[in-house]
Chains A and B, each alone.
Chain A
Amino acid sequence: MEQSIWLALLSTGVVAGTPILFAALGEILTERAGILNLGVEGMMLVGAVTGFMVTMSTHNQWMGLLMAIVAGGLMALIHAFLSITLRANQVVSGLALTIFGTGLSGFLGKDLIGVPLTDTFKPIPIAGLSEIPWIGDILFKHDALVYISYGLIFILWFFLYRTKTGLELRAVGENPAAADAAGINVFAIRYACVIAGGMLAGAAGAYLSLAYAPSWLENMTAGRGWIAVALVIFGTWNPLRAFLGSFFFGTIDVMGFTMQTIGIQIPSFFLKMLPYIFTIAVLIVVTRETKTRRVASPEALSIPYNREER
């Protein structure tokens, strides 16, 4: 009995961490190329509402997911144009994207609030793997998108550290002038990474509205986009560590339910505060650590690249 509660906690922790993971992987890609995109929250919301709308009209959640990815990419394109071509302040441009995305999603989803959805992503236990004690329960009894996120972690890691393009991408984020001199197309790589990052944020939003809590609510992301941005720092821009982080935050996110089940009486408001408090605490600890260790943010992060001042 006792054991099953903890298993349930860790298992739902993986699910709750999945949207944060998708968004964080996208932001890792973006920041590795030297662009800071604080619009994750807004891109997720637009992804969530797009995924919901398209699934409702096509009765196909995969189509919903696809269009959410497209919508996230289009949102990111705005940020890419502002920050790469117009060399705008990336903090303010990202904030604008979040504010715009919050408004746009509310505008589009006005008549969808409280509408039930039947075509959702449902758990598919993986034969064999799900039989493994503990690990099977925690990792392999989820919906298809969770498995896709596992795959993405390794693909992104391999891409960043084991391919030539990955190396070039990191060079663009560290020293764009040197990369440019070496014949790498800084603008093309930055555009591609920002847009790909937005596509993943769109998928993250669709996970919320099509799998995690199939419905549409205004501001349903509830700060998860910001937690994802913090997670990138926690994960020191490394996809593998981002997974641990998302699992950690996902577990804290759902811990409230578990505490209520085992009879700990704490007002729900305080339980809802936990993910935010933990994120801030972790951010402080990790930032202090990165000063002493050799890992640091990409050197050129959030600095616009101006070819003429090379």
Chain B
Amino acid sequence: MGNSWFSRWHFEKRETTSNLVLVMVPVLSVVIGLIFTGLFIALTGKDPLEVYLLMFDGAFGSAYGISETIVKSIPLLICALGLSIAFRMQLWNIGAEGQLYMGAFGATWAALTFPDWPAYQLLPVMMVAGFLAGGLWGLLPAIPRAYFKVNETITTLLMNYIAILWVDYLVVGPWKDPKSFNFPISPQFTEGAILPTLGTSRIHMGLVFGVVVALLLYIVLNYTRWGFEIRVSGESPAAARYAGMNYVKNILLVMFISGGLAGLAGMTEVSAITQRLQHGISPGYGYSAIIIAWLARLHPAAIVLVSVIFGGMLVGGYSIQTSGFSSTTVSMLQGAILFFVVGGEIFVNYRLVRGEKGGK
């Protein structure tokens, strides 16, 4: 017999789930996540509310802040969209970070190989190279997953470390800028390799890619047979096989696209932001994207919105560094939010009831 706490309260299956519940679970998760993290901030003797206001002000309080928030949300958006496809199939790709780095590598290869090409030729080639490199990095762990059921969570995660070391090697080794005075950076890209920006801001064309991908994903998932296959495969691999769907092929394809999109995000970062390959091009976009995809319940439109919020969180994180906080405070906040999202999931299908268990 369980202890009395368990027997007094229990979960009862909901007949239907209202839209209100679907929206309230993630919203409350964010609120409770903020309070939970606030407790830790309070422990250091600072006022959590003040810290959060400072973050909010940094992210949304000025035109510069808003534009930086959008800039940060671009790679988050593209990565999270890619991850959402894999998560729908219950493929736990947590390798977006490495796939982003490989995409940056692919795009940089194109930029350094064809420096004289005009933008209308070079940019598409960089996009394809970035997508391919990221996609192949996602496909590699998908092969043992599809054929031998090798745990993809561990393999995709470990491949992040390999990809980051590979880029680190390139920028101090073969691709090191001879004029860099020993900084770990590649030569600066030529004009044709740089994505156009909106006016004088840093907001770049990657935003368009992200929104287009979100639209495409929405259409594919809801109106095509393949989108239907992905959803069925995720809910029940056995049913998918029974219905004649090629489960193995879908694993490979989904992981390739998932990695490819992260690779595209890497391309936009090196092309528009750093304009060269360098150490540490991502402050963990690939990891934050996991939380975004989950918080948005894998819904493309919601991912757009959540990405902007998380972009703001990153920018806000930079602005509290000046008052003595580690930049990792933001990942603490993000982890806490994810706790409440996964923990709150049960309330979507069940409700908490007090009293004796009825029926059985």
Q: Using a CB–CB distance below 8 Å, which chain A residues touch chain B?
A: 38, 42, 78, 81-82, 86-89, 91-93, 95-107, 109-110, 185, 187-188, 218, 222-223, 226-227, 229-230, 233, 267, 269-270, 272-273, 276-277, 279-280, 283-284, 287-288, 291, 307-308
Contacts and interface: CB of A to CB of B under 8 A. Distances in A.
A254 to B, nearest CB: 17
Contacts of B329: 103, 106-107
Given A100-B339, A107-B40, A287-B148, A38 B153 contact: yes
B335 A106 contact: no
Nearest to A291: B148
A95 B338 contact: yes
B207 to A, nearest CB: 26
Given A38-B153, A99-B335, A103-B331, A276 B158 contact: yes
A17 to B, nearest CB: 17
Given A97-B335, A226-B154, A287 B342 contact: no
Contacts of A98: 335
A89 B332 contact: no
Most buried by A among B10, B149, B330, B332: B332
B246 interface: no
Interface residues of B, number: 54
B250 interface: no
A304 to B, nearest CB: 9
16 contacts: A82-B343, A93-B342, A96-B342, A98-B335, A99-B334, A100-B335, A102-B328, A106-B327, A185-B2, A223-B158, A230-B158, A270-B165, A273-B165, A276-B162, A283-B155, A308-B357
A189 to B, nearest CB: 12
B310 interface: no
Rank and list the top 7 A-B pairs by shortest CB-CB distance, nearest first: A100-B335, A106-B328, A103-B332, A103-B331, A96-B338, A99-B335, A269-B169
Given A99-B334, A100-B336, A269 B168 contact: yes
Contacts of B158: 223, 226-227, 230, 276, 279-280
Contact of B346 (A86, A230, A279, A291): A86
B360 interface: yes
A98 B169 CA distance: 27
B151 interface: yes
Nearest to A278: B158
A105 B173 CA distance: 32
A89 B148 contact: no
Given A78-B339, A86-B345, A100-B334, 7 more contacts: A97-B335, A100-B332, A102-B331, A223-B161, A226-B154, A273-B166, A284-B155
Contacts of B165: 269-270, 272-273
A218 B213 CA distance: 35
A95 B166 contact: no
Interface string B312-329: 000000000000111111
A286 to B, nearest CB: 9
A265 to B, nearest CB: 13
B92 interface: yes
A218 B336 CA distance: 19
Contacts of A42: 335
Contacts of A102: 328, 331-332, 335
B128 interface: no
B94 interface: yes
B150 A283 contact: yes
A284 B148 contact: yes
Contacts of A227: 158
B342 A273 contact: no
A107 B328 contact: yes
Given A95-B290, A106-B327, A287 B151 contact: yes
B296 interface: no
B6 interface: yes
Given A102-B331, A107-B40, A89 B342 contact: yes
B159 A93 contact: no
B149 A287 contact: yes
Contact of A107 (B173, B291, B325): B325
A204 to B, nearest CB: 17
Contact of B153 (A87, A91, A104, A280): A91
Contacts of A78: 339
A276 B332 CA distance: 25
A222 B161 contact: yes
B34 interface: no
Nearest to A270: B169
Contacts of B327: 106
B115 interface: no
A2 B360 CA distance: 72
B157 interface: yes
B346 A87 contact: yes
Contact of A277 (B162, B339, B342): B162
A97 B148 CA distance: 28
B338 to A, nearest CB: 4
A87 B13 CA distance: 13
